Structure 1
Amino acid sequence: MPSNDSLARASGNVKWWKNANIFQIWPASYKDSNGDGIGDIQGIISTLDYIKALGVNTIWISPMYDSPQIDMGYDISDYESVYPPYGTLDDMDQLIKGCHDRGMKLLLDLVINHTSDQHKWFQESRSSKTNPKRDWYIWRPAKYDADGNRQPPNNWMSCFSECAWTWDEHTQEYYLHLFCVEQPDLNWTNEECRREIYRSAMEFWLEKGVDGFRVDTVNMYSKPMDFPDAPIVDPLSKYQPAGTLYCNGPEMHKYLREMAAILARYDAMTVGELPLTPNTKDVLDYVSLKDPQLSMVFQFDLVDIGRGPVDMMKLTGYKLSALKAIINKWQTFIEGNDGWTTVFSENHDQGRSVSRFASDAPEHATNSAKLLAMLNTTLTGTMFIYQGQEIGMTNVPKDWPIEEYLDVGSINYMKLIKEKLEATGASEEEKAKAVHEALLNINAVGRDNARTPVQWDSSPHAGFTTGKPWMRVNDNYKKINAAAQINDPDSVLSFWKRMIGLRTKHSSLFTFGSFHLLEPENEQTFSYVKKSAEGDEKALVVLNFTDQAQEFKLPTEDGANWSLLQGTQPVEDPTSAPLKAYEGRVFVNFGARD
């Protein structure tokens, strides 16, 4: 029998965000309305009917606030203004209304671990040691080595492969930045600072009608204020990764409870970006309804699979069984409790899922995209789709030179690789080989893959803009674009629409149902059973993750009367025909009882 908790998820006090299917937009690359080569809010407004037709009911927009754009808007200079190339506050009001008029909700990105160094708060903070806002950021005096050379307060590396501390000549102290030099970290131990963050970054927009936030780096606000050195895991680097020290600090839950109290007044949701939190019990501490903090979180085990534990750009490979184990872990961790989970395989920080988890070879790309759509739409939790995923956009071509990559993370990574090669005295041949390998790694998992302009049609610049796009369009836009797919019933776009429609129609089964993994050690196919909370619906999902046909016979030992609900490819006898390369099938048994 289903647990009381699973029944409550489906039929009890269901929060609106549990039934949300969320479409993420990266503003710069989505749709340009005025020909300046940069996506904008009016461009988003012009496609609201397209988004609505996809079947989603919520939109999440990545940072559109005023910003110097050192890190694509994650360096915010004013929470209460819009980056001028994107539009104005009036445009945002129109967008909020346009979403609500269509029965959709709107989420914004909440970036409050740090600001831009151009934010007025930081400008005041660095003006003098006695400024009232000095303590709104994290300042520390220098250390000195045995030779009297100035050193930073500790050995932490930033998330962008550089020292996490920068010396300020004017006030003769270092400030902390876990990301770019231009992104100083806020000091959350200062209560006055926290109150102003809540007012300016949250309440300002909640009063305008936004329905919640994706919360950036949600577990980094509480640092160990004695700032111990990080363990040395890379002897060749002066600075070391320190995420295990600054994530999930002692006051994190206190801060999130303060935020949750504000959000509750507006019935607003949050989804937190929660890195370096592998333990399910620790995650439940953030998302349990008994202690409201976050509605749900993004776990990164899936998108990080096959990446090095220290060098996250370095690919080490993975087996399908490992991917299954990760999905099983986060599908089942909410069983028997009041937590909630998310479903996603792409976002603005990841390589494209078709290229990452299946095949972007021309003969397999369409089927791979449908396979992954079937996986995403049949899993339990709130589902997130990233712009372009609905048409099967892929990673950029492998022959793009490093000059085409614009993301600060990729640029700094290549710089670090070259510095290490120089330090070790590598030969020219060794340097060339290492740089080539680094470029292949960037091509596979670099953030630029997700940030190329959306491919709307086959006209110049993929219909994204009438001007020169801020970033090169993927070369395959003439074959992969929305216009070519919108009226094609066999397209990736049409398949996503059908699967989202089935997910919505059978939400008790797919959104809320329990997950049961089959054949965990099978390295070719991924199969699982979903059971509705009431126990009267079952689904069997079978997915071939290889480029070869795989034998298949519909199981009958449990007495289930299976019928095909949806397949990714046409087949005469879905009960026994081999699974074609990258083929998926969903069978259902309605009326089943445990």
Structure 2
Amino acid sequence: MNNDKNWFHNAVGYQIYPKSFYDSNGDGMGDLKGIIEKLDDLKTLGVDFLWINPVFKSPQVDGGYDISDYYAIDERFGELSDFKALLKKAHQLGMKVITDLVVNHTSNQHPWFLESQKSKDNPYRDYYLWEDARSNKMPNEWISFFGGSAWTYDAQTKQAYFHVFGKEQPDLNWKNPKVRKEIYKMVRFWLDLGLDGFRLDAISHIQKMPWSYKIKSWHGDGPWVPFMNVSGIEQYMKDLKEIFDEYGALTVGEASGVRSTQAPDWTDDSGYINMIFELEHNARKANGDGHVYQMKKTLIRWQKDLLERGWNALYLENHDQARVPDVYGDGSEACAKAFAVAYMLLRGTPFIYQGQEIGMRNFPFQSVTQMRSKELIAQYDKWIERGWDKKAALLKMTKNSREHSRTPMQWTPEKNAGFSTGTPWMEVNPNYTTINVAAHSELRMLYAQLIALRHQSSAISDGAIKFHFERHLQAFVYERENYLILVNLGQKKAHLDFETTSVSTDRNYEHVLGSKARTFRAKMILDAWEYQVFKK
């Protein structure tokens, strides 16, 4: 791994959702010791760093993104000593570790908020965003990401507190210097412990518009405009950057509301963070199916806008997204391979979500009892109350649900997919007998090859990128200097005439990777899900 400040350019990250990764003690839930046991597997795959979803003390209302103690490891996952042991072994294997920094909000069980609730003059009242209200009249009409008002009324003090997510996740008041001091102290604690950096959760929401701001329309960022990348956030980000730079921390921002044209300022050498997760490319059609062409267009735009300055964070799946082969394709391994090649060789740092490398599929939900998200179950109940039949309501709630990505990791064809000797907290996908790590699938081997290619080639890690056939509905074709990547992201054949492009057609091309043996030709017809990588 490179030791320079841009080492992450040729690195690949691996995202772990701890609850579902590996259970070391048979209680049915993944834990830190389980992650430690599987580090050698990840090293074999070739990944350079891990992004571990929150393992801090939490009521788990929102999968750990509702933190009640920033300094404590939740007992579900282990102890602080286990986290230290994880860092130690990962570092011995040459892998870095980052985890989520959740500082837009806390849990409503955090001691700060419990104190804040007691009275208007409590010293912690101003740690959160409280405003005068009535039970039927909130301070404004703003809407939370989870639906409904972004305010929750407190009858005792006749005020309401603000939350961009669930009511159990009150937003912190970043205008309060005491709050910022506490956050910066906590950031240093984890970096001093040996953590290598952070994925900054919901960071673009920490600044809000004045409460008087009226939502004029629901286009673009919709009703969430008042708390998405609002002017004034710059100073907070600069303060954080000073700490990150001091430690050489790797930083990845989840920064919805930051446009592709703004991303260079966030991620270049003088920017706040190293790279940014955009949410735009997760395009859907009206029926909920994935929209391949819109995905392709969005990825190309972000690649172009960050070509001269800044850096992309690349991903297909994560803990909030359904499995790509089912959303955008036919669920086949061939489809999974095509998407792997398409995104892994783009300009940026790729992240692989657990199970993605073996082609894990969406879960075949048959009953609401198989769901674990209280939020989704509540929505399901509302559809039933409106007269929907159970099957239709279940499909509506699960079609692109994040529940699909949270089923237990499939390690072996043995009971519970080798995830746990106990009863898993969530059902294992019944296809685990064929889809598992032990099967040494061609897909997993392909990911290892793609990671190795990023490590070995500066053209892939740092080179320029140029796209061709941009208006083709399913062909994704681009050059990375001396590499030519061709992928058919569809089930129909894709006809490509390179004589209409600037690609040199009279040169010899070395075949590097492919779903079948091919020689480059000026005119090519790619089969369904075919991918080819050539080198000039």
TM beyond 0.5: yes
1:579 matches 2:526: yes
1:355 matches 2:323: no
Q: Could you tell me whether the CA contact under 8 Å between 2:263 and 2:306 is conserved in 1?
A: no
Which of 542, 545, 549 aligns to 2:486? It is 542
| Aligned twin of 2:275 | 296
Which of 303, 307, 318 aligns to 1:331? It is 303
Q: 1:585 to 1:231 in 2, by over 3 A?
A: same
Q: Could you tell me whether the CA contact under 8 Å between 1:296 and 1:342 is conserved in 2?
A: yes
For 2:524 and 2:215, the matched residues in 1 are separated by 55
Give per-residue Cα distances to partners, 1:327-358, cap 9 Å, x unaligned: 11111112233x11111111111111111222
| Aligned twin of 1:158 | 144
Residue 51 of structure 2 aligns to a residue whose secondary structure is strand
| Aligned twin of 1:458 | 413
Q: 1:559 to 1:572 in 2, by over 3 A?
A: closer
Give per-residue Cα distances to partners, 1:171-191, cap 9 Å, x unaligned: 221111111111111000101
For 1:288 and 1:557, the matched residues in 2 are separated by 32
Q: 1:493 to 1:225 in 2, by over 3 A?
A: same
For 1:523 and 1:441, the matched residues in 2 are separated by 27
1:190 matches 2:176: yes
Counterparts of 1:542-581 in structure 2, within 5 Å, are 542-551=486-495, 557-567=504-514, 569-571=515-517, 575=521, 578-581=525-528
| Aligned twin of 1:220 | 205
Which of 450, 456, 468 aligns to 1:505? It is 456
Q: Which amino acid aligns with 1:343?
A: L
For 2:369 and 2:222, the matched residues in 1 are separated by 27
Q: Which amino acid aligns with 1:359?
A: D
Which of 274, 284, 307 aligns to 1:306? It is 284
Q: Which amino acid aligns with 2:434?
A: K
For 1:390 and 1:23, the matched residues in 2 are separated by 10
- Deviation, structure 1 residue 17: 2.5
Give per-residue Cα distances to partners, 1:64-122, cap 9 Å, x unaligned: 00101111100000010001010000000000111111111000100010001111111
Counterparts of 1:56-75 in structure 2, within 5 Å, are 56-75=47-66
Residue 280 of structure 1 aligns to a residue whose secondary structure is coil
Deviates more, 1:12-21 or 1:55-64: 12-21
Q: 1:307 to 1:64 in 2, by over 3 A?
A: farther
Q: 1:284 to 1:415 in 2, by over 3 A?
A: farther
Q: 1:257 to 1:574 in 2, by over 3 A?
A: same
Q: 1:71 to 1:307 in 2, by over 3 A?
A: farther
- Deviation, structure 1 residue 504: 1.1
For 1:461 and 1:220, the matched residues in 2 are separated by 39
For 2:262 and 2:312, the matched residues in 1 are separated by 13
For 1:63 and 1:12, the matched residues in 2 are separated by 27
| Aligned twin of 1:371 | 338
Q: TM-score, normalised by structure 2?
A: 0.93
- Deviation, structure 1 residue 227: 4.5
Residue 445 of structure 1 aligns to a residue whose secondary structure is coil
Structure 2: gaps of 5 or more residues: none
| Aligned twin of 1:242 | 223
For 1:509 and 1:546, the matched residues in 2 are separated by 27
| Aligned twin of 2:347 | 380
Deviates more, 1:456-465 or 1:555-564: 555-564
Residue 108 of structure 1 aligns to a residue whose secondary structure is strand
| Aligned twin of 1:322 | 294
- Deviation, structure 1 residue 583: 1.4
Counterparts of 1:403-414 in structure 2, within 5 Å, are 403-414=369-380
For 1:499 and 1:26, the matched residues in 2 are separated by 23
| Aligned twin of 1:237 | none
For 1:437 and 1:333, the matched residues in 2 are separated by 41
Q: 1:524 to 1:115 in 2, by over 3 A?
A: closer
1:525 matches 2:484: no
- Deviation, structure 1 residue 547: 2.2
For 1:131 and 1:321, the matched residues in 2 are separated by 53
Q: TM-score, normalised by structure 1?
A: 0.84
Residue 152 of structure 1 aligns to a residue whose secondary structure is coil
Q: Which amino acid aligns with 1:261?
A: E
Give per-residue Cα distances to partners, 1:139-176, cap 9 Å, x unaligned: 11114xxxxx7322122222112322111233221111
Q: Could you tell me whether the CA contact under 8 Å between 1:59 and 1:105 is conserved in 2?
A: yes
For 1:573 and 1:281, the matched residues in 2 are separated by 38
Which of 290, 313, 320 aligns to 1:342? It is 313
Give per-residue Cα distances to partners, 1:237-274, cap 9 Å, x unaligned: xxx96311111122211101001101111100211111
Residue 71 of structure 2 aligns to a residue whose secondary structure is strand
For 1:373 and 1:286, the matched residues in 2 are separated by 27
Q: Could you tell me whether the CA contact under 8 Å between 2:117 and 2:125 is conserved in 1?
A: yes
Q: Which amino acid aligns with 1:269?
A: L
Residue 45 of structure 1 aligns to a residue whose secondary structure is helix
Q: Could you tell me whether the CA contact under 8 Å between 1:125 and 1:134 is conserved in 2?
A: yes
Residue 70 of structure 2 aligns to a residue whose secondary structure is strand
For 1:98 and 1:12, the matched residues in 2 are separated by 19
| Aligned twin of 1:80 | 71
1:209 matches 2:194: yes
Residue 156 of structure 1 aligns to a residue whose secondary structure is coil
For 2:403 and 2:112, the matched residues in 1 are separated by 30
Residue 371 of structure 1 aligns to a residue whose secondary structure is helix
Which of 247, 253, 263 aligns to 1:266? It is 247
Q: 1:300 to 1:248 in 2, by over 3 A?
A: same
- Deviation, structure 1 residue 410: 2.5
For 2:147 and 2:431, the matched residues in 1 are separated by 31
For 2:241 and 2:432, the matched residues in 1 are separated by 42
Q: Which amino acid aligns with 2:266?
A: Y
Q: Which amino acid aligns with 2:256?
A: P
- Deviation, structure 1 residue 409: 4.2
For 1:85 and 1:344, the matched residues in 2 are separated by 28
| Aligned twin of 2:267 | 287
| Aligned twin of 2:439 | 484
For 2:114 and 2:222, the matched residues in 1 are separated by 28
Q: Could you tell me whether the CA contact under 8 Å between 1:160 and 1:413 is conserved in 2?
A: no
- What is the percentage of aligned positions where both structures have the same residue? 36
Residue 204 of structure 2 aligns to a residue whose secondary structure is coil
| Aligned twin of 1:54 | 45
For 1:437 and 1:284, the matched residues in 2 are separated by 43
Q: 1:168 to 1:344 in 2, by over 3 A?
A: same
Q: Which amino acid aligns with 2:6?
A: K
Deviates more, 1:89-98 or 1:470-479: 470-479
Q: 1:31 to 1:169 in 2, by over 3 A?
A: same
- Deviation, structure 1 residue 462: 0.8
For 1:357 and 1:231, the matched residues in 2 are separated by 33
Give per-residue Cα distances to partners, 1:539-587, cap 9 Å, x unaligned: 11111222244456776744332111001x2336565774332111101
Q: Which amino acid aligns with 1:475?
A: P
